[in-house]
Copies of this chain bind each other. A is one copy, B any other.
Amino acid sequence: MGRDDETVEPTATLRHMTPRTPDELSRIAYLGPRGTFCQMALIAWAGDRSLEQAPQASVPAVLGALRAGEADAAMVPIENSVEGGVSATLDALASGDPLVIIGEVLVPITFVLCARGGMPLSSVRAVGTHSHAWAQVRGWMAEHLPEAAYVPTLSTAGAAEGLGGDAVYDAAVCAPVAAANVGLTVLAHDIGDMKTAVTRFALVTRPGILPEPTGADKTTVVLYQKTDRAGGLLDLLEQFAVRGVNLTRLESRPTGEAMGSYCFSIDFEGHLRDARVGETLMGLKRVCADVRYLGSYPRADGVVTDAREGTRDLDFADANAWLEGLRA
């Protein structure tokens, strides 16, 4: 891993370069500060690569830096096994200049309760953390600190950092590494209510990079319905079903236009270059008001897509050759 900058200073070179492969990425924005689960995802993805890390204060700021060319990729949380889709990320990807996901990372979520040295658990009166984290430790808190007030913060790592300053709370819920970064004392380990909690992070770039198909890929899209069609979602799902494409995530998100006006944020198995995916996307494009393509990328879990008979590339090629023969 390379430098770990707290400030974002875009280099002129990066602004104008268009990376064509994941290996050409060099400056990655992420949801900071240091010590967030998001930074863990970035470190896991980087492996031996030398990368410049650029922490940002919010998801919109992370994607804003990417869109502005101040970073050539961005790591953002996209789905949480306890809290669900991360609205801020889904919405920021669904509007504004196009961006595409080129990779994903799964990070197990482990929370600690920490405080400045000398503070016993019994003295904790107020706890600071991000609202998503608070939701995941609610059971532990109800049992061990039923009287403690909750103070929302912008991130879990930010909650830890605040304890070093003038925080209005006296303990923080954060990742172990965040507590260590600030030199805090851990009052309780592994306090998440759901021991198997995991957050999925997406590595996002400007359009121009399309990872090669691996056979274990996912694709992400946002679908906007035509308002004049009843039973719309059923119609959209049949576009997938009839071509044997399986969904792995579906979130409805309001379009903001009116109560009850929704778009659908969807992950599905397969790669943009797979024949069944291409035909599905074209089918969706025809029946939707709009389809926003958000990238095809290798699955973090490596599960190979089990395309059913009749939906593999070879089946599409055979059917196409047959049709061409009839039309000749």
In the complex, what's the smallest C-beta–C-beta distance from A216 to chain B, in angstroms? 15
Query: Is A50 on the interface with B (CB-CB < 8 A)?
Result: no
Kindly report how many copies of this chain are found in the complex they form together.
4
Query: Is A194 on the interface with B (CB-CB < 8 A)?
Result: yes
A202 to B319, CA, bound (A): 27
Partner of A254 from the list B60, B84, B237 (CB cut-off 8 Å) is: B84
A278 to B321, CA, bound (A): 11
Query: Is A318 on the interface with B (CB-CB < 8 A)?
Result: yes
Which of A5-13, A66-74, A279-287 touches B? Answer: A279-287
* Most chain B CB atoms below 10 A, which of A79, A239, A260: A260
Query: Is A166 on the interface with B (CB-CB < 8 A)?
Result: yes
Question: How many residues on A have C-beta within 8 angstroms of the other chain's C-beta atoms?
Answer: 78
Cβ B83 vs Cβ A254 within 8 A:
yes
Cβ B319 vs Cβ A286 within 8 A:
yes
Cβ B152 vs Cβ A153 within 8 A:
yes
A84: B residues at CB distance < 8 A: 87, 252-254, 262
Main secondary structure of the interface of A (DSSP, over half): mixed
A247: nearest chain-B partner, CB-CB: B233
Cβ A272 vs Cβ B316 within 8 A:
no
A88: B residues at CB distance < 8 A: 135
Among A160-204, those with CB < 8 Å from B are 166, 168, 194, 196-198, 200
Residues 226-245 of A, flagged 1 when their CB comes within 8 A of B and 0 if not, give 00001101100111011100
Query: Is A250 on the interface with B (CB-CB < 8 A)?
Result: yes
A260: B residues at CB distance < 8 A: 81, 248-249
Cβ B81 vs Cβ A285 within 8 A:
no
Query: Is A18 on the interface with B (CB-CB < 8 A)?
Result: no
Residues 72-103 of A, flagged 1 when their CB comes within 8 A of B and 0 if not, give 00000001111111011001000000000000
In the complex, what's the smallest C-beta–C-beta distance from A208 to chain B, in angstroms? 10
In the complex, what's the smallest C-beta–C-beta distance from A165 to chain B, in angstroms? 10
Cβ A282 vs Cβ B323 within 8 A:
yes
Cβ A252 vs Cβ B252 within 8 A:
yes
A85: B residues at CB distance < 8 A: 252
Cβ B81 vs Cβ A259 within 8 A:
yes
Partner of A326 from the list B81, B230, B248, B272 (CB cut-off 8 Å) is: B272
Cβ B293 vs Cβ A315 within 8 A:
no
A237 to B243, CA, bound (A): 13
Cβ A286 vs Cβ B310 within 8 A:
yes
Please list the residues of chain A having a beta carbon within 8 angstroms of any beta carbon in chain B: 57-58, 60, 79-85, 87-88, 91, 106, 131, 135, 138, 150, 152-154, 166, 168, 194, 196-198, 200, 210, 230-231, 233-234, 237-239, 241-243, 246-254, 256-262, 272-273, 278-279, 281-283, 285-287, 291, 293, 310-311, 315-316, 318-320, 322-323, 326-327
The 5 closest A-B pairs by CB, nearest first: A282-B319, A152-B152, A286-B310, A285-B319, A81-B259
